[in-house]
Amino acid sequence: MATNTKKVPLKVKENTGYRIFLVINFLIMLFVVLVTLYPFVYLVSQSFTSEKAIIRGEAGIIPKGFNIDTYKYVLRGEFLHYYRNTIVYTLIGTILSLVFSSLLAYPMAKSELKFNRVLTPFIIFTMYFGGTLISNYILIVNGLKLKNTVAAFILPMMISTYYVILMKSFFQSIPKDLEEAGEIDGLSKFGVFIRICLPLSKPILATMTLFYSVMYWNNWYQAFLYLNKKQWPVAYYLQTIIRGVGAKEGDGDATSVSANIKSCAMVLTVLPIICVYPIIQKYYVQGMMLGGVKE
With the CA atoms of 134, 139, 140 and 141 taken in that order, what torsion angle do they form, in degrees rounded to the nearest 10? Answer: 80
CA–CA separation, 173 vs 290, rounded Å? 9
Q: Is 43 in the site for other proteins (CB under 8 A)?
A: yes
Q: Is 272 in the site for other proteins (CB under 8 A)?
A: no
In the stretch 106-125, what mask flags binding to other proteins with x, by CB under 8 A?
A: xx--x-xxxx---x--xxx-
CA–CA separation, 158 vs 41, rounded Å? 33
Residues 158-217 interacting with other proteins (rule: CB under 8 A): 158-159, 188-190, 193, 214, 217
Shortest gap between Cβ of 71 and other proteins (angstroms)? Answer: 17
Taking a C-beta distance cutoff of 8 angstroms, is the pair 179, 197 a contact?
Answer: yes
Shortest gap between Cβ of 22 and other proteins (angstroms)? Answer: 7
CB-side exposure of 293: number of CA atoms within 13 Å? Answer: 6
Contacts of 291 (CB under 8 A, 6+ apart): 165, 166, 169
Residues 8-37 interacting with other proteins (rule: CB under 8 A): 8-11, 14, 18, 21-22, 25-26, 28-29, 32-33, 35-37
Name the one range near other proteins by CB under 8 A: 64-72, 75-83, 136-144, 201-209: 136-144
At 37, which helix (H) or strand (E)? helix 12-48
Nearer to other proteins, 74 or 238 (CB): 238
Q: Is 132 in the site for other proteins (CB under 8 A)?
A: yes
In the stretch 45-74, what mask flags binding to other proteins with x, by CB under 8 A?
A: -x-------x--x-xx--------------
CA–CA separation, 277 vs 285, rounded Å? 11
107 CB-contact burial (10 Å; exposed 0-12 / middle 13-18 / buried 19+):
middle
Contacts of 286 (CB under 8 A, 6+ apart): 203, 207
Taking a C-beta distance cutoff of 8 angstroms, is the pair 215, 158 a contact?
Answer: no
Q: Is 229 in the site for other proteins (CB under 8 A)?
A: no
At 151, the amino acid letter reads: A
Taking a C-beta distance cutoff of 8 angstroms, is the pair 217, 235 a contact?
Answer: yes
User: Contacting other proteins (CB under 8 A), which of 66, 73, 100, 162?
Assistant: 100
In the stretch 230-249, what mask flags binding to other proteins with x, by CB under 8 A?
A: -----xx-xx--x------x
Shortest gap between Cβ of 63 and other proteins (angstroms)? Answer: 13
Q: Is 92 in the site for other proteins (CB under 8 A)?
A: no
Shortest gap between Cβ of 184 and other proteins (angstroms)? Answer: 15
